[in-house]
Structure 1
């Protein structure tokens, strides 16, 4: 077990970088960065492998990291630092298990986090190693990397690392005979969010027909690709036993204009998560959801159905929200809300997608027109639906990019964003 605590400064910063370079080269470690700001750890939950490093960076306020076994007796190992400002603290996790931690001055305000440490490559899936070289123009910047399955558009891994001239990134999740896009970018302008090249330097590599653990080699170049990186929202549900087997409906709504960013329906398990993409840095959102407690197939105000609202304000990047079942219900359709009722709502999946995308409506619809429109406003395809609650679009011939799916029913219109990989 190794713990490092440093104050910001040229000498101490250099020592931290040298320690991390040495660790990454000798032990193939992955470094995960947690931003420490006003009363929040971002992300507040991480899943890592044994031997990985977590680095906390305090950039706003007086905080600490307390994951000591005296505070959390069930933690497999102890880690923490003292309360202060402007610090960087790192810890190498050597034991599998779940580690909880908090900021002592702000624990009562919910400033807590969790590190889940899994045995190296114990998932039954294959490991991807990306070897980076010649990255001198980006030393000290942040690298964001995502692995996306080509056929389904499903993201199987995502990580953030600090860039060195020569370093490697390892993620697990590859499956035999599957093919993947490996998307990554260096935050070249240091603003903490993705900007299309050449502002940020972004790339895409391919990995086809996986047979086992795989390695990709990347040498720095200026052959950029606009990977249209999206921030990831994960809502983690726990203690949902009273609703197991019921339907849960969830919306992510942009507070500024009421845009419905994402909607889904899932079957409730005791503990599960919902992932959505596209939350924008600096924006604020409401996350509304309800469990169909009486199984009527439609929303009924609490306590008949159980409904809740979460707030997500001023997004910093990838975000994890934790929700534990409670009875503090909110009538999400009868309070001041930015969401407006629209025509028969539909789910769009997968998104991002590579070849085909499915539109699944909540009810049967007839003669609804579906248009695919690119960012220039040009209509790329038109489809008229028959009496059905599901329709599938072939997008294999469309170039990669951002599209808008228009669903027109008379005078009513619903629009969804779609990323074509």
Structure 2
């Protein structure tokens, strides 16, 4: 008889931690995501890289970006040769992937692959979503929508009259819910569901388009001041476009993003319903996280290649089954520094799987027993292109990787919105703080050099 835990692993691309309604940041209910959080442990993680696909690679491998080498947005995803899917397979799991799982499909027993929206016309034999769209006659319109996305990002998207299951994330949710009913009952299984959004910069389908609206969505918007942000941002849209960004455009971009969050929340509800019909629901754990966040007009910016909090703060939810004999967590949250590199070792721990010593993260499961998560890192590390972030609980510093020049320094306690770059204050206090952050950086990097 199988006594191992089954694992439902949901990876939502570009999901900000504050998009969940338990943070009360946005006028959007996310009941299914909040239900998972209330029944489990909920943490805020720092992305190891706000560039694609580096952040997702870190989630799946437990490695920092400099360890796996994917630091730029324009890099093609490299097939994973090792990582969480392989560790679980070695531990006896039947592994299945649905959605954007192409980079690690070779490590899975079964996969239903959809290609990312950066490819306007995926081949039907490589993308189940494209094949379904062709059969419905939607493929040309979807290809045009993706081309328009490449031209203008989220500013002027093509809005298609799609039913929810005709949208890429609605399609992924429907296929995953169906696949849950086919999982084996005589051996442990792990299903990876990788959504395209909400960070794919596409408008949501019908019923979710305009779900949240109103002038209040543009609250707090101010135009970009690039002389203060060069240290933290690599803009994805031309600066001239960002400087002309208006509040009503920001409100629409935020509404589209939140509509996609709601679509994924509904998908999680479908997964819960499918699991409730299974005989092994009482030993099935759910893990939900993301690779990076998304800027939605904060500091006048749109995109994700940034070390600002909305770009790098993502949720991690680890939820046990609601079943007799399964103890709820003794602690639901723990202060401290957590990173997406902690995701893979946490899931490996859940599944009783071994992982390589090179893994940079650690399991957060001790929180379930109200124990500290060890070892405690000196700081969090995030990296993309030629910039590197080191973040403690109080301060954030950005260094240029070539010469280790400090480009940005922020006091997160006194300045939580990161508006004042202290590096411009050439005082003894600032110089001392830069030195301290360099020491923290050395403490993080030293173990990675082996």
TM-score by shorter chain over 0.5:
no
TM, length-normalised to structure 1 = 0.29
State the structure with more CA Rg. Answer: 1
Greater RCO (Cα-Cα under 8 Å, separation 6 or more): 2
